[in-house]
Amino acid sequence: MIVWTVSLYVLLNYLPLFTGINASAALWLNTLGLIVMTASIPFWGAFSDRHGRKPIYAFGCIAFLVLPYPIFHLMLAYKSTWIVGAAQVIGGALIGIFSGVGPAVLSELFPTRIRTTWMSIGYGIANAVFGGFAPMISIALIKATGLPLSPAYFVMFAALLSTITVATIKETAHLPLQ
């Protein structure tokens, strides 16, 4: 959940304004990223039904370990609307992995009798703590470190934590639910 929420809030909500492009362009690019994310969700969900949850989720985690630094670096270096748009599209497609696979992963972690309660608690807390505060954390990191690339490191740290977690869960895609 951590990489899902942090990447969503940092890349699709905070990122367009981070570069200093005008607010109208930022809003339209954010909308484009969300459309790409929404369109990719059924693809990633179906792909995980065929190939398993764990490898697809791990791919998303690893992508967010590798891509934030170059994406943020390019945007800071060029401050181009086109680069921000490309980041929104790529980010949206990759965040779609978590939105397409995440609900199944969360559902399959818990037995039926406690599934809804614990899935809701985990999802809600992760969104509130890691996602809701992600833009504020990004700004605080920049102020504390003086490094404009700090939000990229935040996303990468979230991806590292999630990659470790994904490595520890069992593949459940082709098993019957309890």
Question: What pLDDT is attached to residue 171?
Answer: 86
- Count the domains in the chain: 1
- The answer on pLDDT for 6 being more than 80 is yes
Residue 178 lies inside a defined structural domain of this protein: no
Q: Whose CA is closest to 54, among 157, 174, 173?
A: 173
Residue 176 lies inside a defined structural domain of this protein: no
Q: Domain containing 97: what range?
A: 2-168
* Mean pLDDT value across the chain: 90
Question: What pLDDT is attached to residue 174?
Answer: 79
Both tokens assigned to 61: 């985690």
- The answer on pLDDT for 70 being more than 90 is yes
Residue 177 lies inside a defined structural domain of this protein: no
Widest CA span of the chain, in angstroms? Answer: 52
Residue 64 lies inside a defined structural domain of this protein: yes
* CATH number of residue 42's parent domain: 1.20.1250.20
Question: What pLDDT is attached to residue 109?
Answer: 83
- The answer on pLDDT for 100 being more than 80 is yes
Question: What pLDDT is attached to residue 90?
Answer: 93
- The answer on pLDDT for 26 being more than 90 is no
Residue 120 lies inside a defined structural domain of this protein: yes
Both tokens assigned to 40: 């990719």
Q: What is the mean pLDDT of residues 6-25?
A: 83
Angstrom CA distances, 56 to 49, 53, 134, stand at 10, 6, 24
Residue 105 lies inside a defined structural domain of this protein: yes
Residue 126 lies inside a defined structural domain of this protein: yes
Residue 136 lies inside a defined structural domain of this protein: yes
